[in-house]
Amino acid sequence: MARKKNHQWAREDQPGLEISVNERTYDHEHQAARKHFQDLADRLVSLSPGARALLPLDETVSEAIDVYLRQGPKSSRRRQLLRVQTLLRGCDLESLEIALESDLQGGQDGPKLWMNTLMEGDDRVLMDFVERHPDADRQQLRTLVRRAKATGASVQRAKDKLLAVLMELKR
């Protein structure tokens, strides 16, 4: 196993001034970073458009993800996913990961938890939510909950819209 070397030189004519060489990075560190970006890109691509719109993403990353999703299964999806990974390197990863973990997973008072509670409950649960969040539009929430409970093609769109409204109320 190779050791990291950290050399320091001192100039004889200027005492106290030390010049140091940066430590080397190894292949396994690069591979770990590459794997991290790959996992992050896979998570972003698998999100619904409503959930992805709530994340702090750059426009270029959002457009690259949209291009990836529009491509057919036999086209250059792999290359486009690599482009998404490359664009993610310039983003603020800390805030993006925090948003992915907290907002989408839902905490004690998380939007995902409230969405499930509203869909399983009745009007009393909705009234309780409106009391906790006075700036919430009760009629809009009631309509979205009813659409999300229904069956049909627009159910996922209604769930995404409901989640987006709840996320906005959380902020």
Show the 3-state SS of the chain: CCCCCCCEEECCCCCCCEEECCCCCCHHHHHHHHHHHHHHHHHHHHCCHHHHHCCCCCHHHHHHHHHHHHCCCCCCHHHHHHHHHHHHCCCCHHHHHHHHHHHHHCCCCCHHHHHHHHHHCCHHHHHHHHHHCCCCCHHHHHHHHHHHHCCCCCHHHHHHHHHHHHHHHHC
Of 17 and 90, more confident: 90
Per-residue pLDDT of 107-154, as tens digits, reads 445 677 778 778 887 788 888 888 888 888 889 999 988 888 888 778
Mean pLDDT across the stretch 38-55? Answer: 82
Map out the domains of the chain with their CATH numbers. 27-104 (1.10.60.30), 107-170 (1.10.60.30)
Query: Above 70 in pLDDT, residue 4?
Result: no
Rounded average pLDDT over 44-65: 83
pLDDT at 108 (0 to 100): 44
- Of 85 and 29, the structure prediction assigns the larger pLDDT to 85
Q: Is the pTM of this model over 0.75?
A: no
What percent of the chain has pLDDT above 90?
15
Residue predicted with more confidence, 11 or 62: 62
